[in-house]
Amino acid sequence: MRVLVASTAGSGHFGPLVPVARACAEAGHDVAVAAPASFADEVTGAGFVHLPFADVRPEVLGKVMGRLPSLSTEDANRVVVAEVFGRLDAQAALPGVAATIEEWRPDVVLREPTELGSLAAALAAGVPQVVVAVGVSSLLARVTDLLAEPLAELDELAGLRPGACSAAIRAGTTLTSVPAVLDEAITSEVPYDGPVIRYRVPPATGPGRLPGEWGDPDHPLVYVSFGSVAAALPPFARVYPAVLEALADQPLRVLLTTGRGVALDTLVVPPNTRVEQWWPQDDVLPLASVVVGHGGFGTTMAALGVGVPQVVLPLFAMDQFVNADHVAAVGAGIELLGGVDAVGDLPAALSTVLADPRHRQAAGAVADAMAALRPVEDAVRILERI
């Protein structure tokens, strides 16, 4: 079987595809990744063949992204979903991924939800497409209406009947690592008409490892990560110095990772904190008492997978707010609204999570539900039958 994996140029979008793609490769199938040319290093670094398609021209993307700081969070999310993912990314990708499908002849396209060029190309070529979720199911309901016009344009560009892309989003097979207890924490209405296959991603199970010694080893370890994008967005990059200041006098040991967009020598780092541009998440999670994040899918699910409670501070993307809602709804942590301005409430939130065992118990219940899901190898067998 030939599996064509399709992703936009985002680590948080590509990451959930990797366990399924690797399981396919380990089962003896041919796997290649269609992704923007700019994403080559990440694809090849994960061990996959990269079949590039075009990036959106920087000057075009820059005009759209330049509007975001002046918009409300809600309006900015509408622009990102509809204009960036739905229109610019999808229309840039469509010719290249269509050519790849024609030349490489995959048996199935395995895509992440915001890579829509491969959706249209697969439908036009008669190739089955399967989506790997990068969030809870209610996120789909929030974005589908925003995509109505861009999807109609994709239908026309790909020579499809009107409504084909929109219908395929709801009717296709979905693979997700989100257990039902988290998916249905707010509503039991799942916006999929097609089958939903839940599988488990092995959690971090090692003894843990930290980057040296700092602070008081008897204090609880708090792992803070706001993903790989926040540092590149000026309105949100100030979250890093704000967190350092807010937690400086707390009886905690803090590990803060910033990504490569922050110059570490510009930060004032208190004695109770260690700052790294990057540290393996699987090494720190087994040792963490609490995780502080922005609700990105990767860190949120990884923390839940090992039963670590969270304080979630959503910053800019729609999925961050949705994920934070669900973490709070199951009792596995606290949601702080207000973006960077809410960092002042972080010490009190951490004190609450650390003092109330119900948060860790709830996170542990989600971890148990994740562990009870079918292995990812079962998802491969389902792909083989499509």
| Residue whose pair of structure tokens reads 């599996």 in the numeric block | 3
180-189 mean pLDDT: 82
> What would the pLDDT profile of 134-146 be if each residue is shown by its tens digit?
999 888 778 888 9
Q: Does the structure show a pLDDT above 80 at 214?
A: yes
User: Which residue did the predictor score with more confidence, 143 or 333?
Assistant: 333
- List the helix and strand counts (H, then E) for the chain: 19, 14
* 300: amino acid identity, one letter: T
Of residues 64 and 269, more confidently modeled: 269
* pLDDT tens-place string over residues 215-234: 999 999 999 999 878 887 77
- Give residue-wise pLDDT tens across range 13-69: 999 999 999 999 999 999 999 999 999 999 999 999 999 999 999 999 888 888 887
The pLDDT score that the predictor gives to residue 263 is: 84
Q: Among all chains, which residue has been given the structure tokens 């490769």?
A: 25
**pLDDT tens, residue by residue, 356-365:** 999 999 999 9
Map out the domains of the chain with their CATH numbers: 2-171 (3.40.50.2000), 221-371 (3.40.50.2000)
Query: CA 61, CA 153: separation in Å to the nearest integer?
Result: 18
Residue 191's pLDDT is 63
Kindly compute the dihedral angle of the four CA atoms of residues 159, 86, 136, 175, in this order, to the nearest 10 degrees: 30
